[in-house]
Amino acid sequence: KSGFVAIIGRPNVGKSTLLNRIVKQKIAIMSDKAQTTRNKIQGVYTTPDAQIVFIDTPGIHKPKHRLGDFMVETAYSALREVDATLFMVSAEQPRGRGDDFIIERLKKSETPVYLIINKIDTIHPDKLFGIIEDYQSQMDFAEIVPISATEGNNVDKLLTILESKM
């Protein structure tokens, strides 16, 4: 079993942190500063049964100038080549225009989109259901997986789900 998976989401939601945890080697640059990751960086997760190639996209947001426009298109073109997309959001912040911009593009995706709600360690568990409902009202996701990329909560479950769908 093998496949390609893209990780997409606003800057600072934790995409690089998750990728680094999954591939267990430092291949993406982690930073508090937005858009440190400027290129598609691939990491490979390998088990005896599966091989999943992950693609970390640059922070995708509404472009403010033509270069930004180009970067956004580069990131979205990567999505046409993958088997599944992980759309990562942060439980710490409410859904914003940056998320809605991405959602509008993901609605056109022909491959499954998984909603990954990251940073669940920062919220009271009672708040999770409301967050899930809010995103679900915007689009249908193949699967919704709440995780903490820093603490590792549910990351194994996410990998199991991805493996089973390859």
Q: Which residues bind Mg ion (CB under 5 A)?
A: 15-16, 37
Is 145 a binding residue for ligand GDP by CB under 6 A? The answer is: no
Q: What share of the chain is helix, strand, coil (3-state, %, to 5)?
A: 35, 20, 45
14 is known to lie in a ligand binding site: yes
- Helix (H, G, I), strand (E, B), or coil: what is residue 116? strand
Which of 4, 5, 8, 16 is in the footprint of ligand GDP by CB under 6 A? 16
Which of 17, 85, 109, 154 is in the footprint of ligand GDP by CB under 6 A? 17
Residue 119 interaction partner, one of ligand GDP, Mg ion, none, beta carbon < 5-8 Å per kind: ligand GDP
DSSP assignments along 7-32, one per residue: EE-STTSSHHHHHHHHHTS--S---S
Is 121 a binding residue for ligand GDP by CB under 6 A? The answer is: yes
Is 15 a binding residue for ligand GDP by CB under 6 A? The answer is: yes
Decide: residue 24, CB within 10 A, 0-12 exposed, 13-18 middle, 19+ buried.
exposed
User: Which of 23, 100, 131 is closest to 145 using CA atoms?
Assistant: 131
Which residues contact ligand GDP (rule: CB under 6 A)? 9, 11-17, 30-32, 37, 59, 118-119, 121-122, 148-150
Mark the binding-site residues for GTP, compressed into ranges.
9-16, 56-60, 118-121
